[in-house]
Chain A
Amino acid sequence: MSALLEVRGLSVEFDLKDGAVSRVIDGLNFELAAGRTLGIVGESGCGKSMTALAIMRLVPVPPGRIAEGAIRLAGENLLDASEARMREVRGNDVSMIFQEPMTSLNPVYTIGDQIGETVRLHQGLSRRDARDRAIEMLRAVSIPAPEKRVDEYPHQLSGGMRQRVMIAMALACRPQVLIADEPTTALDVTVQAQIFDLLKELQQQTEAAVILITHDMGAIAEMAQRVVVMYAGRKVEEAPVDEMLTNPKHPYTRGLIACVPHLEADPALERPPLMEIPGVVPSVAELGRGGCPFAPRCAEAMDRCPQDMPPETAVGEDHTAACWLYSATEAAA
């Protein structure tokens, strides 16, 4: 299995107002094959969305910059690509579905114009052909009466339909990689289920690789084959989905799974108090102080945790975690 998208040692830095530099993504590694889905989970402020922006080379410069690493799409390092080349890549090879379907559509253009713009730009289609393509895409995302809808404006559609339009737009050029950043958080569960079914179906047809960014472990279980758990800009754990859910190793991952009341197969079970993760995610200014960033919130923190950064360690077959609990090799300090 060769990787379609490969992220190696990716670091993103931001200049802060006081002149300090904060590493919001620190040495991130993962890879993704065509037709597969990778889930990225973590709380807000853990660097999930920043990772997505980095892959699209959309990190705002300044104050931000991609400091280190490589992002290879089918072998080509996107960090070396020219801005002109990136414009070809964005929306064509790699595209993105944003969280808020209400705010990421332009209210003064019809949805047909907005879907058509992508294909006119990237594939040089005429206005008429672009419109036909837009109708075809709307049909593909099961919007009823697409010939009529294509001339409507975003405000005339419900939230679920707007998100379908976003998906239609993202998939219009048949991208190799689709990044879905919390694609269903603003939607009802019933609509979320429709959107997930649709994404899976379209993925099967187009063999796209999907990165699903979410904080919902249930969504990950349903959609992804592999999961990366991020905390404070670092990967803290990575494993296949079933392994991660049944055998989480990192205390943060265990907390994330246990702190949410999941629907139980047996509703008559006792309901003990939920596990709490005390405290909050470190702010940008607090990053990079050395040591494990999770240590201040970790119930199992040891003396060395606040001092030394734990390395990524194999904790099982195809399962890694960055935690001193599992690191047999004592750093020769």
Chain B
Amino acid sequence: MTGPAASAAANPPPDNLLEVRGLKVHFSLPRKGPFAPAPKVHAVDGVSFDTARGATLGLVGESGSGKTTTALAVMRLAPVTEGNILLNGQEIGPLSGEALRRQRRHMQIIFQDPYSSLNPRLRAGEIVRAPLDQLDVGDRESRDDRVAELFRLVGLRPEQQALFPHQFSGGQRQRIGVARALATQPDLIVCDEPVSALDVAIQAQILNLLRRLQEEFGLTYLFISHDLGVVQYMCDDVAVMYLGQVVEHADRVSLFREPLHPYTNALLSAVPSADPVLRDRASRIRLVGDPPSPIDPPPGCRFASRCPFAEERCRAEEPALRTIGEGHRVRCHLVSDDGVPPHRASN
């Protein structure tokens, strides 16, 4: 259905809304001494992926893996050190000023925390209207109508426009966040952990809303989450990140059925499950320790220090992101060319 498989082709197919090539985001830290080089945080270190129009790409990984920084860089909200970002086939990496502002209406973001991402001094209607005003979409009257329509779309009543954020519950606030993201009729919406700050019973309301809106408006989502159940439910394709790199990228069914990278496998087996079939899966991997620091990451495979299968080669030589089978990409020396992952080869 979606085609990361085509990413290697010389002419990228036009049905990719978003293409990211070799994206790097490095932050400099204060130098330790007058002659010491400034240490660099390699927050995002060479990330490439495509997102098909109308599809949802999930970015998963532990905290510090660079998934949010990747999304912010795509939104041009984090400084891009290197690489290309193509939205609708147009390079947006080098844009600035008015040119960038014109592109912004095509990409919007829903933030994690609906408590801190809405200005407490503005009325809900003003919050949703802000992107229309800021980005010069429509005229005064059409904006009024649009805001009322947006309130209906996300399941709020138009008269609630006059209320302030604190007068809404958490789920309702997130609906305001969704309405704001929808306002300018964007093509791409980045959803940065959109439900992780919400109570369990409320999450379903927002997830159902996001799926309904996607169907209705053909939206493309870049969906960041650490909750693999949510990712499995929402996404068509999934990219797994570790320490600033994509270590595995595949369509949802292959990734969850046949995870190739030991890290993906460890992530999946760490999810506590109420399903006895999943609980008893033999190939359980327990990770020890924490990810290494993204400041001057180790040579070789970045996962080697926690990988139960790591060999000499893994610590010395950095594996490339290889394509195996139908568009299943994996960054691991130990996955065989016909797609046998190390946790099954060793049995």
A, B assembled together: yes
Q: Is B77 an interface residue (CB 8 A)?
A: no
Q: Which A183-226 residues have a C-beta within 8 angstroms of B? A: 188-194, 196-197, 215-223
Closest CB-CB distance, B128 to chain A, in whole Å? 21
Given contacts A188-B226, A194-B288, A260-B229, is CB(A265)–CB(B277) below 8 Å? Answer: yes
Closest CB-CB distance, B64 to chain A, in whole Å? 9
> Chain B, 38-65, contact with A by CB distance < 8 Å: what is the 0/1 string?
0000000000000000000000001100
Contact B199 A261 (CB under 8 A): no
Report the Cα distance A160→B62, complex, angstroms: 12
Contact B273 A260 (CB under 8 A): no
Please tell me which one of the listed residues A190, A274, A277 contacts residue B287 in the complex, with CB atoms under 8 A apart: A190
Q: Is B274 an interface residue (CB 8 A)?
A: yes
Please tell me which one of the listed residues B269, B277, B287 contacts residue A194 in the complex, with CB atoms under 8 A apart: B287
Given contacts A190-B267, A190-B270, is CB(A215)–CB(B200) below 8 Å? Answer: yes
> Chain A, 230-274, contact with B by CB distance < 8 Å: what is the 0/1 string?
000000000000000100000000011101111111111001011
Contact A191 B256 (CB under 8 A): no
Report the Cα distance A263→B158, complex, angstroms: 36
Q: Which residues of B contact A197 (CB under 8 A)?
A: 286
Contact B199 A267 (CB under 8 A): no
Most chain B beta carbons < 10 A, residue from A43, A188, A256: A188
Contact A275 B232 (CB under 8 A): no
Q: Which residues of A contact B321 (CB under 8 A)?
A: none
Closest CB-CB distance, A145 to chain B, in whole Å? 12
Closest CB-CB distance, B233 to chain A, in whole Å? 3
Given contacts A190-B62, A259-B203, A260-B203, is CB(A221)–CB(B233) below 8 Å? Answer: no
Given contacts A222-B273, A267-B257, is CB(A190)–CB(B266) below 8 Å? Answer: yes
Contact B290 A218 (CB under 8 A): no
Report the Cα distance A53→B211, complex, angstroms: 40
Closest CB-CB distance, B244 to chain A, in whole Å? 16
Given contacts A264-B232, A267-B252, A273-B208, is CB(A259)–CB(B200) below 8 Å? Answer: yes
Contact B272 A222 (CB under 8 A): yes
Question: Contact size class for B?
Answer: 35 or more
Q: Is A280 an interface residue (CB 8 A)?
A: yes
Determine the residue in chain B with the shortest Cβ distance to A275.
B204
Q: Is A276 an interface residue (CB 8 A)?
A: yes
Q: Which B273-295 residues have a C-beta within 8 angstroms of A? A: 273-275, 277-279, 286-290
Q: Is the interface of A mostly helix, strand, loop or mixed?
A: loop
Contact B229 A43 (CB under 8 A): no
Most chain B beta carbons < 10 A, residue from A161, A261, A281: A261
Contact A268 B63 (CB under 8 A): no
Closest CB-CB distance, A310 to chain B, in whole Å? 20
Q: Is B253 an interface residue (CB 8 A)?
A: yes
Given contacts A43-B200, A259-B203, is CB(A265)–CB(B275) below 8 Å? Answer: yes
Given contacts A190-B267, A261-B229, A263-B228, is CB(A256)–CB(B201) below 8 Å? Answer: yes
Contact B228 A189 (CB under 8 A): yes
Closest CB-CB distance, A143 to chain B, in whole Å? 10
Determine the residue in chain B with the shortest Cβ distance to A159.
B63
Contact B275 A263 (CB under 8 A): yes
Report the Cα distance A256→B62, complex, angstroms: 25
Q: Is the interface of B mostly helix, strand, loop or mixed?
A: helix
Q: Which residues of A contact B205 (CB under 8 A)?
A: 276, 278
Q: Is A44 an interface residue (CB 8 A)?
A: yes
Report the Cα distance A265→B267, complex, angstroms: 15
Contact B272 A221 (CB under 8 A): yes
Q: Which B183-226 residues have a C-beta within 8 angstroms of A? A: 199-205, 207-208, 211-212, 226
Report the Cα distance A193→B287, complex, angstroms: 9
Q: Is B165 an interface residue (CB 8 A)?
A: no
Please tell me which one of the listed residues A192, A221, A274, A277 contacts residue B279 in the complex, with CB atoms under 8 A apart: A221
Q: Which residues of B contact A188 (CB under 8 A)?
A: 62-63, 226
Contact A44 B199 (CB under 8 A): yes
Report the Cα distance A221→B63, complex, angstroms: 25
Contact B256 A216 (CB under 8 A): no
Determine the residue in chain B with the shortest Cβ distance to A245.
B274
Q: Is A123 an interface residue (CB 8 A)?
A: no
Contact B201 A259 (CB under 8 A): yes
Most chain B beta carbons < 10 A, residue from A189, A255, A266: A189
> Chain B, 223-261, contact with A by CB distance < 8 Å: what is the 0/1 string?
000101110111000000000000000001101110000
Contact B279 A222 (CB under 8 A): yes
Most chain B beta carbons < 10 A, residue from A193, A277, A281: A193
Q: Is B90 an interface residue (CB 8 A)?
A: no
Q: Is A158 an interface residue (CB 8 A)?
A: yes
Q: Which residues of A contact B226 (CB under 8 A)?
A: 188-189
Most chain B beta carbons < 10 A, residue from A43, A255, A263: A263
Report the Cα distance A259→B255, complex, angstroms: 23
Report the Cα distance A174→B230, complex, angstroms: 38
Please tell me which one of the listed residues A43, A44, A264 contacts residue B275 in the complex, with CB atoms under 8 A apart: A264
Q: Which residues of B contact A220 (CB under 8 A)?
A: 274
Closest CB-CB distance, B315 to chain A, in whole Å? 19
Q: Which residues of A contact B275 (CB under 8 A)?
A: 262-265
Determine the residue in chain A with the shortest Cβ distance to B61.
A188
8 inter-chain pairs at a CB distance below 8 angstroms, sorted by A residue, are A188-B226, A191-B290, A193-B272, A197-B286, A216-B272, A218-B229, A260-B200, A260-B229
Spell out A's residues near B (CB within 8 Å). Answer: 43-44, 144, 158-161, 188-194, 196-197, 215-223, 245, 255-257, 259-268, 271, 273-278, 280-281
- New contact pairs (4) apart from A189-B228, A221-B273, A266-B257, CB-CB < 8 Å: A190-B287, A221-B272, A221-B274, A261-B204
